[in-house]
Structure 1
Amino acid sequence: MKKAAALFILLITASAANIALSLHSGANCETKTLSEPRTATGLGFDISFEVNKIVIEISRNNSNFSDISQQILSLHPEITGIILSSSIRLPILSLNIRERLKIFPNRTVETDIFWRTFDTTHNGWAAPFLDCHFLQGVWFYAYVLKSADIGLGLFIPIKLNQCDYGLADIFGGPHQCDEDTTKCIPQYEYGERKGGYRCICREGFFYPGANLSWNGFSGEDVEKGLLDSYRCVPCPPECDICGEGGLCEAKRDLYLRSIILSLQLVCMFITIILALIVFKQRKCKAIASGMWTILETVLLGIFFLHGTVVVHYFEPSVLQCLLERWARELGFIICYGAIILKLYRHLIEFRTRKAHRWVIKDTDLLKYLLIMFMSVFAYMAAYTAISVNFVQENYSLLSKGETLEGVHYESCKPLWWDYVTQVGELAILIFGIHLSYASRNARTQFHERRYLCAAISIELAVSGLFYMARIFILPDLHPNFVLIAHFIRTQFTATITLMLVFVPKFWYQQKQVRSLAQEYSCRIPVDAFKDMNAHGPLTSNNSDADVGEVSLADMNPEDIRAELKRLYVQLEIFKNKTIRLDNPHISKRRGGRKAPHRRFSLQKKGSRERNLYGNKHRIAKKEEETTEAEPSRTPEDSVCSNEGPSAVYNDLPSTYTSESKP
């Protein structure tokens, strides 16, 4: 019983406190209505469209106003209250009070201001009013629509903006900023209290007494008359815009920058399309021979390289400076790292004077590329951590520059990290050229090595010149010209690399309908198919007549069999000549014994002397033994083929036939 009494007393005390607080607040608040209607500004929806939807919903579901009100208030948080009425139902008022829906079917003293506004307005926007009961101290816009059968009223809270002349009556007058030289910036936290704004200089004006911490004239100081002058001074005639102290600041050409941004976005879109084409054509000879996975990574790197200009388009900031460097370094290592690995694979596959052939699979190259990527990622993470630490210690990553014309601008500050990174890029490119030079005698399909070397050489030349210009020339140029320089650099490197890597592949892919003779006519003489040592009527010069002149009906099976045998022999001769054409290390003898002095594998230093002079008793013992030597492996078996030795024919001049012992 005592607990119940204590709880009852506590509830009464809380209710009394709430009532007292409401009375105290109500004493300080007086319901107001402006004299003229005002159109709401800054709405996130079309009020006419939403009203028509609500009218249609009422026509369909005329019997349930509560559900319609709840649906409207939940879909549009900007709307706080709604009145619905019809010719067959009593009107209701729904209010969203502290995220809770309250419905008032009857007119009360607290809701009188809402009903009065609805009754006195026929159609359109009503005069704003102040509520002092449920939503104390909140001003509302009101929009009313009435017809013969349906009535609708929407109530939207006003975000008090002292810079809005339409709401000047709420604050007792407009703001006091000088319209000619300054512009008003609202401060919404002031509410109805006057002075909730700041006056900052317009473009082309500056305040002589400004310092680095000055952010405009305070509205409170302006309203209280504490400032002698709150006007700004025009910039010097030679300046479009100026900053502190009247210093001319660079004006960025929005039209030019938009054109460059559009071109870069087009290049990035083309890169995405090429990636899809490469994936779709990955089984074609031209794409498969170039390792389609590596080609996709090259396109990914080019995409990042184009993204550097997109990042440079925006105004300089700490985030912009960091993102630009990240995009550049990751794109560089992905693109040119993949190209260098392709050159490395060519060098390994075509190296000479090695007893065993190294086979590098695509997965191995991707592993190497992943290691390179993670190394650069760790390097950039360390760079970012140090840069953020500098910013937290009040060091700036931005610097003020000045052009030759005396125009000031803001840009990313060059750091020693940047110089180290640039030297690292050039070193990687030089290593790629070294690999290309080392494999200069290697023949690759579709002349791939030549185009890869050209891409790296162009990147080395253009980037070297650009980095020199960044140190000595670009600091004196206008930011618009600096953006153009970045754009040209990207087009001369990333775009040309894309063309050199992919255009030849698509070009050669369209020319794969050639016959076998046409395909190799540029590498061997035409008469390579002719057997000069063959005998017989079918292998003589007369047999080289046009096939169309000989009818199969005139040939017997023996002639056809002999002709096919001759073709097989010629194909084997052609195969051997083609293999030896660009591989001088391959012996012309097949399966035969090598000369005693020939050593195909490398030997350690001093091994030859030990074999000649070291163990004489072993040499004497070997002279007494008579064993048949095992034929050594041919270079073709150890270096040049994954498929083992080619087929050997006894009637070929380049083969070796062992004589049988009696």
Structure 2
Amino acid sequence: MGKKDLSWKSYTLTTTILINFVLGGGNAHVRKKDIESSLQDIHDVAIASLGDFCNKKQFKSLTVPLDTLKFESVRQKADLAATLLQDLGVAHHNGLQDAISKNLIVTDKSVLSSRILAINASTGSIVNCAWWQKQISDIGEPKKISDTGMEIGQRPNSEYPWYVIVSQNIGVWYIIRYIFRYEDADSSPGVRSPKFIESPPNVAYKGWWTFPYYSCSNRKWIVSYSVPIPPPGRRGLKGFLSLDVDVSYLEVNQCETIRNQQVNNEISIFHGSHKCHNFSTKCIYRSNLNQETWTRGKYHCVCRSGFYSEYHQGIFNGTLVEIAWSEYLKTGSKSWELIFQCKKCAPGCLFCQDPSPCLATYHWPFRITLLTFSIICVICTIILILYMYKHRKLKVFKVASPIFLSITLLGCATMYLEMAAIFPILDQYSCIATKWSRHLGFCVTYTALLMKTWRVSLTYRVKSAHKVKLTDKQLLQWMVPIILVMLIYLGTWTVSDTPNTEEIVDNAGLRFKQCLYNWWDHSLAIGEVLFLAWGIRVCYNVRNAESLYNEARLISYAIYNIAIVNIMMIAFHLFIFPRAGPDIKYLLGFIRTQLSTSTTIALVFGPKIIRVLRGQGDQWDNRARSRGVTASFSLNGIGLVPEEAPDLFQENEELKEEIQKLAAQIEFMKIIHMESNNRHVKPKSGGYFSIQNTTSLIHSPLTKTGLNQPTKPPDEM
């Protein structure tokens, strides 16, 4: 007994290892061949004329197993019935056999028929048989049938899938060994019949399940479970019990299953056996087709996202695909490759029906031209900073605060760099660079110009004789917090909600990427609009102010231009070209940069450069001085450069002007007093030196500081 147990355990372990090896892919080509052969058999049964087919054969067996755990309750009932028959005996209880066989059908809807055979151990012939079968219509009580293969005294028909006879010369004992792998202590393990499948690993069954087969008499696909019934307490075989289970309701799903999805009514062995081209198509199972029969090709091959087909609108019938695949293997036909494979869409297309492009085209030569011009502007701006530093002591630059002029140029160079940021196909890093170059450049340039204009406004509006002094250092103290606020805002934006891209569609339906606009952009835009509004108000206040080299007015024009250009570009983007392509948007960005930045440089620095080139950079603006603007009055409001040593030439010029003013006022007052105290000299009523005219002249709004305003000498009357 110990030898038998050891032999059986060794055999079970070997079988388990082999099964795991097969399931793990060790014999994948054989298993795939069995699957294809079974699918072909299913196809043959489905399309064949059943009359012709069943005249030749009564059964069609497959070579792939089913998951028999689905029928565990049926197996347990059969094992229990076999144990009962073993204890009570098989040959002498015909009524008991009929009752058990009939009960197995009644108690389970999936059981089609059941049979109990009592066999003569010496001859292998049937002693008695109890065979019950469910009605074809599944209505009413099962019926007891008689079959020619079950005639008493005859051996069972070898065609039955649930029984095999190897030779007439082999006794029943060896026949059952061949069927059930039954063995005794003196023999090696028997050979399993190819009609029966392996039991699941580590599971002990009393009997064996057959491979699925088609039964012509039932017009159904069936699996059978057969259990040997040995005599009580002795070796040998007195009979066996077999029952048939209907598996026609199971579905031959050749598509891949979804991971972790429980599918109870599908044959798992066929999963993934479809013939769709996996790279370009995906398999879609048609679950509502032919529920009562097994069919090969019960699926559609549908083009995947990003692929299209010129045939059948990208939806291929699985049956046709299976046929094309068979022809491809047999004859090398190219229909499977040419017709049933989808073609890749144009780059960027998520869905398409033809090879038409989905992404907007970038005209790189055009964009490179605009970018090159912008880079040249950056280089010219840097050269202008160096040029101004070289001539910083000339009056035309000195009176305009060279430090603020340099800051303005640096801001302009930063705004030019926006064209480099938006040049490539936009991504996250490009959008970050775009936001920083655009807003930081605007803030630096506009703040520098506004600080200079604001200083003029404060100086111009003072009504006392006391001169307001605002140094460059004081203005920088006001400018730094403004730029610091912008830096904090941009930094917080970049870290907390990094600017990214979004896809938009142009007028032609082509997609391209642009930087996403959200509430960060809108909030900053509102702040910049308010900042522009304040700058426009300051420029309006100094519209009548006189300054050397007319710089206050030119800066005001530059600020007006910045506001107008930005408002126009917003209108172009939102209303005129809302769905323009990437090249049009790049062109609009270039135009905005040139109209705002280049125009600012031309207005603020153009006249200065021209004076220097003409050799007049160190000369005073005579036209401004003739309108009453002194040499000490400048855009700084305090003189040239307060931190430097006094300029003797400047002081001499200012002293001369003060002496001329004083001499004119003395002469004027002398004439007035002479006329008023001399009764012989009476001024003409309404004349220039009359008392009424003098009073009105003194209080005239044209005289900014009363009699301190220079007047014409008497000899010019």
* Larger Rg over CA atoms: 2
Q: The TM-score by the shorter chain falls in which range? A: 0.3 to 0.5
Q: TM-score, normalised by structure 1?
A: 0.44
Q: TM-score, normalised by structure 2?
A: 0.40
